[in-house]
Structure formats: structure tokens, C-alpha cells
Amino acid sequence: MAEIVDFIRRGSMLITPAILEKIHRKLPLWKAEYSQIQSPEYPHLAEQLMFLVNVVEDFADGVAKDIPYVTIAQAIFALSYAHKSVDIIPDTVPELGHADDSSVVRAVLIQNEKVLAKRAIEQGRNWSRITSKP
């Protein structure tokens, strides 16, 4: 897990406010993409991604200014990673295709659990349904 955390840390350090703005405009399309994920091995992945999209949208829209930028940068990194068609394990590989996406997303949720759990409650969502488990 330490390697994934370091991977996320390095990647999220590259997320600037300009990148946030560009990705914010793409999020409606990404939301549609993530809603189509059907992976029995990672049943929470689609809901986790949708939650992170909502968090980033709320921050970018000025609704959730209290969220630390590092949390937003890590969420953007996870969303971007899940969106990429070329990643460590191609999504087309049966039973394993979303393993890397799930690992990155879960690491972001775990590292930012206190902030994100609070945001889930503010959104009226059940944190245990979002969960940090696969």
C-alpha cells in the first residue's frame, strides 16, 4: 500500500488550480463513464468514483471550500487515473481490470477518510455505503 500512497502523493502534487478547472468541465462526461462500471470484484468502485466527482464539483463550485486542497488534488488524481484508458492493468482484463483503479481510489478514501466522511454526511450520504473497502 505504501507504493500506491507514494504514487498518489507524487501524482497529486502535479494537480494545479488550472488542471482542476479543466477537469471540472469534463466531470459530467466522466460521471456518465463511471456510472457504467460494472465490476463484481469491486462492487463499490462506481459509487466511490461518483462520490469523488461530487466532492470535486462541490469544491470547484465553491460549495465545499473547507476541504483541504490536498484532498481535492488526490481525488482528481484518482478520478483521472480511473478515466485513463491506459493504466497499469487494462480495464478489459477479466476480473482484474479495475484492481488498480480500485486500489488508487481506496487509498485516496483511506488517506482522507476524516474529511471525506464528513463531506458524505453533509451530502446526506451514508459513508459506510461509499466505504473504503473494495
Mean pLDDT for the stretch of residues 122-127: 90
For residue 92, is pLDDT > 60?
no
Are 69 and 55 a contacting pair, CB within 8 Å? no
Look at residue 99 in the predicted model and tell me its pLDDT. 80
For residue 134, is pLDDT > 60?
no
Are 52 and 75 a contacting pair, CB within 8 Å? yes
pLDDT confidence tier of residue 109, bands split at 50, 70 and 90: very high
Alpha-carbon distances, residue 33 vs 37, 107, 125, 128 (angstroms) = 7, 21, 21, 23
pLDDT confidence tier of residue 55, bands split at 50, 70 and 90: very high
pTM score over 0.75: yes
Burial class, 96, CB count within 10 angstroms (exposed 0-12 / middle 13-18 / buried 19+): middle
Look at residue 91 in the predicted model and tell me its pLDDT. 55
Look at 36-45, 49-58, 68-77 and tell me which has the smallest mean pLDDT.
36-45
